[in-house]
Structure 1
């Protein structure tokens, strides 16, 4: 039974992450915010270097990203792995994220995503989110 529960949790988390990525791609702010903890901490590619803390701060970072993405950028999961315990879980993914020109210049570039999740009242929520690009992807 425990193995079956763990597999169900992994599938729930996988669906949560995939729906979040679709919401990001659509520019759907309520969809992006869904399933995120009130006390989320996010470390992102752009500043601030010490991250954003809390759902209101997390909400505020998305409109500029949506404006950039409106230039025709993609935000597509290419790999996703999930590990789930009874109350905490993590997921890590690679995404194609860039405008057509950026991806033409660096076709192998991938955004790295790591999520820390916890169960709150029986449902999974994202408590930590980290986005990064490899350092060499940022060089001239």
Structure 2
């Protein structure tokens, strides 16, 4: 691995650290600043896809809880970089915690495609998914890494 690739991997890892912190603090502007204008997201929450920063921002505004704490626990991302493109994958536990300590959170799978635009890494595509039981079609929210 070259020094440039190591620097790019560190910059991408920093994006995920900033993304997690912005989620925990519910800072919508800090979240959205990490995405490309033409973001395509396959979020775990429907619809099937979100296209463009305006549409995705509206989704974030709807999904961030007003009266609950965000739960965001990420495993260390596996990051690969080649030129102006990067990919990453990790398991993430996310959801919300009510004031009484009750949580609605589960582990999911996350994969990302990033692009270097104007010398800055941006998230161009993300995909969150929850595994499901093949026999009954039910989401498997109780899985642990």
Q: Fold-level match, TM-score > 0.5?
A: yes
Gaps of 5+ in 1: 104-108
Cα offset for 1:139?
5.3
Cα offset for 1:73?
4.1
Structure showing the higher helix proportion among its residues: 1
- Residues 115-134 of structure 1 show CA distances to partners (whole Å, capped at 9, x for unaligned) of 10111121111110111111
Equivalent residue, structure 2, for 1:47: 46
SS at match of 2:24: helix
CA contact 1:23–1:32 (8 Å) conserved in 2: yes
Judged with a 3 Å threshold, the aligned counterparts in structure 2 of structure 1 residues 15 and 62 are, in CA distance, closer, same or farther, namely same
Judged with a 3 Å threshold, the aligned counterparts in structure 2 of structure 1 residues 74 and 92 are, in CA distance, closer, same or farther, namely same
Please give the TM-score of this superposition, normalised by the length of structure 2: 0.81
Task: Report how many residues are paired.
Answer: 132
Cα offset for 1:64?
2.7
SS at match of 1:138: coil
Equivalent residue, structure 2, for 1:72: 69
- Residues 43-67 of structure 1 show CA distances to partners (whole Å, capped at 9, x for unaligned) of 0112112x00000011011123211
Equivalent residue, structure 2, for 1:106: none
Q: How does 1:1-140 map to 2 (within 5 A)?
A: 3-49=2-48, 51-67=49-65, 70-98=67-95, 99=97, 100-102=102-104, 109-136=106-133, 138=139
SS at match of 2:124: strand
Q: Distance in 1 between matches of 2:6 and 2:51?
A: 30
SS at match of 1:37: strand
Q: Distance in 1 between matches of 2:17 and 2:46?
A: 25
SS at match of 2:13: helix
